Structure 1
């Protein structure tokens, strides 16, 4: 029963959110094999897409049959007698959710092991390169510009410019691309950042090679390219340290 309620709640949330993405006027156009000619066409397509992207796919329910999902929605909207009782539907969905979650967890663990191994191999090779320093925690860094200002403490607020990439060079985050630096308490970020930025002085620019256990570990952002135990690379410019704005 609890799983069913959570599913319905998620569905309601994405339905509400879908209307925020659709303007009062609909632009006619074709998306893939679907032609969206009217506003209700766009509404219907958006609801279906968001259900898949925000509810089904994140739960590992990728083998759901869209045509039967549509038939179930149609039957409910038209008050047609369901082919299964409410209790049967709850039981079936709950069992399916549990199996899907188990498969996802196994997949995540396997991918995490692969990412950890890939990161270890990269860091083992990288530490032999000229200019690479290694801390006791395993954090690697290279000084690109030394800087001459003060160094932050872990509780200080810092203003930085940065670019984050995966080992394959994919940029997953960049304040440069957004066109403005970021300010945050240094003790509110991943461990590799908290440790590494304290090594810097204002005006410095470092390149950090952060092992998975000092990055997001087994809890990466839910959406985005960063995987479990992924080793990350950051170029960081320390622009300003604000001890007076420290956050405990």
Structure 2
């Protein structure tokens, strides 16, 4: 994201991508205390360029190896972000964007997808579902197995979700806004646990259209030691957090 335009009142900004313009600008509230609504969103936007300190608090990606995980950056108050054009997705590193708490926060976290390896699953009891744990540490449970063709790497798909912390607190959901998330699977647009948990691999079967799956994602497949949305000693996603997502794979977009 390379351009920032602030109106005369200093209340909103518009961003353009160096990889191609987003279909629509999105507004950013610059005063969280004056926000009257909280809109939970988990959207996707690809980022490869550096960000202006005045617009985004950037944190340099952790160096490889195992796996290269970009640390989250944040900006204030995402009110709207439309899905990107197919051509905007380049490379393996991307971002997961969560709007939460006082009209939202923008986080970036990308990860290269772990290819291929198979693993042994171990049974773990959840409240309502028996989780199987792959060798990567990602746990999953199919609440409803779908049918039809699985997604393929790089395909644009749609999914509904509810994201929760280990204590059960919901930090993000697509159901509330009545619109599923559209993103490209398997190319690093989302955290590694999402790519692996939906596309399959590492001992995990792929999700099928119409399927519903619970994913329990360890920190190393999510936001790691840094957490996300941290400000003034408080974090929306604390460091070393294990995250739980109830995912409904709708199908290709």
TM-score (normalised: structure 2): 0.46
**Greater share of helix:** 1
**Greater share of strand:** 2
**Structure having the higher Rg:** 1
